Chain A
Amino acid sequence: MSQPRTLFDKIWDSHVVDQQDDGTCLLYIDRHLVHEVTSPQAFEGLRMAGRKVRRPEATLAVPDHNVPTADRARGIEDEESRIQVNTLEQNCEEFGVPIFRMNDVRQGIVHIIGPEQGLTQPGMTIVCGDSHTSTHGAFGALAFGIGTSEVEHVLATQTLYQTHAKNMRITVDGPLPTGVTAKDLILAIIGKIGTAGGTGHVIEYAGQAIRDLSMEGRMTICNMSIEGGARAGLIAPDDTTIEYIKGRPYAPKGAAWEQAEAFWRSLPSDEGARYDKEVVLSADEIEPLVTWGTSPEDVLPISGAIPHPEDAPNENKATAIKRSLEYMGLTPGTRLQDVAVDKVFIGSCTNGRIEDLREVARVAEGRRVADSVYAMIVPGSGLVKEQAEAEGLDRIFREAGFDWREPGCSMCLAMNADKLNPGERCASTSNRNFEGRQGPGGRTHLMSPAMAAAAAISGHLSDVRELAC
Chain B
Amino acid sequence: MEKFDKLTAVAAPLPMVNVDTDMIIPARFLKTIKRTGLSEGLFYALRHDKDGNPKDFVLDRPAYRSAQILIVGDNFGCGSSREHAPWALLDAGIRCVIGPSFADIFHNNCFKNGILPIVLPQEEIDKLMEDAERGANATLTVDLENQTIEGPDGGRITFDIDPWKKHCLLNGLDDVGQTLNKAAEIDSFENTQKARQPWLYA
Residue of B nearest to A66 (CB): B31
Report whether A147 and B83 are in contact in the complex, using a CB–CB cutoff of 8 Å: yes
Tell me, rounded to whole Å, the shortest Cβ–Cβ distance linking A301 to chain B.
22
Interface residues on B, range: 35 or more
Does B123 lie at the interface of the complex (its beta carbon under 8 Å from any beta carbon of A)? no
B81→A129 contact, CB < 8 A: yes
Q: Do B193 and A320 touch across chains, with their CB atoms under 8 A apart?
A: no
User: Is A100 located at the chain interface by the 8 A CB criterion?
Assistant: no
Residue A233 interfacial (CB < 8 Å): no
A293: shortest Cβ distance to chain B, in Å? Answer: 10
Q: What's the A-B contact tally at a CB cutoff of 8 Å?
A: 185
A150 on the B face (CB < 8 A): yes
Minimum CB distance partner of B35 in chain A: A41
Chain B residue nearest in CB terms to A152: B176
- Is A282 close to B, CB under 8 A? no
Residue from A24, A49, A84, A196 in contact with B31 in the complex, judged by beta carbons closer than 8 Å: A84
Interface assignment of B91: CB less than 8 Å from any CB of chain A: no
> By the criterion CB–CB under 8 Å, are A441 and B103 in contact?
no
Within 8 Å of chain A (Cβ to Cβ): is B137? no
Across the two chains, which residue of chain B brings its CB closest to A263? B197
Confirm or deny: A146 has a beta carbon within 8 angstroms of a beta carbon on chain B: yes
How far, in Å, is A158 (CB) from chain B's closest CB?
7
Q: Which chain A residues lie closer than 8 Å to B95 at the CB level?
A: none
Q: A84-B31, A156-B180, A440-B50 are in contact. Are A199 and B103 (CB under 8 A)?
A: yes
Binds A, one of B3-11, B16-24, B59-67, B151-159: B16-24
CA distance A51 to B28 in the complex (A): 30
Q: What residues of chain B lie closer than 8 Å to A148, measured between beta carbons?
A: 35, 83
Given A38-B81, A414-B28, the answer on whether A295 and B18 have CB atoms closer than 8 Å is yes
Give CA–CA (A153, B175) in the complex, Å.
7
For residue B26, CB closer than 8 A to chain A, the reply is yes
* A295 and chain B: residue at smallest CB distance: B18
* B residues in contact with A81, CB < 8 Å: 31
Interface residues of A (CB under 8 A from B): 17-18, 20, 22, 24, 26, 28, 30, 37-38, 40-41, 44-45, 49, 51, 54, 65-66, 78, 80-81, 83-84, 87, 123-124, 129-131, 133, 145-150, 152-153, 156-159, 161, 163, 165, 195-196, 199-200, 226, 229, 231, 252-253, 256-257, 259-260, 263, 295, 316-317, 319-320, 323, 413-415, 422, 432, 434-437, 440-441
**Contact surface of B with A, Cβ cutoff 8 Å:** 16-18, 20, 22-23, 26-28, 30-35, 45, 50, 73-75, 78-83, 86, 101, 103-105, 108-109, 112-113, 162-164, 175-177, 179-180, 182, 185-186, 189-190, 193, 197-200, 202
A28-B186, A37-B82, A434-B22 given; 19 more Cβ-contact pairs under 8 Å = A18-B185, A20-B164, A22-B164, A28-B189, A40-B32, A145-B81, A145-B105, A146-B108, A147-B108, A148-B35, A159-B182, A161-B164, A165-B104, A231-B104, A260-B197, A432-B22, A432-B79, A436-B22, A441-B50
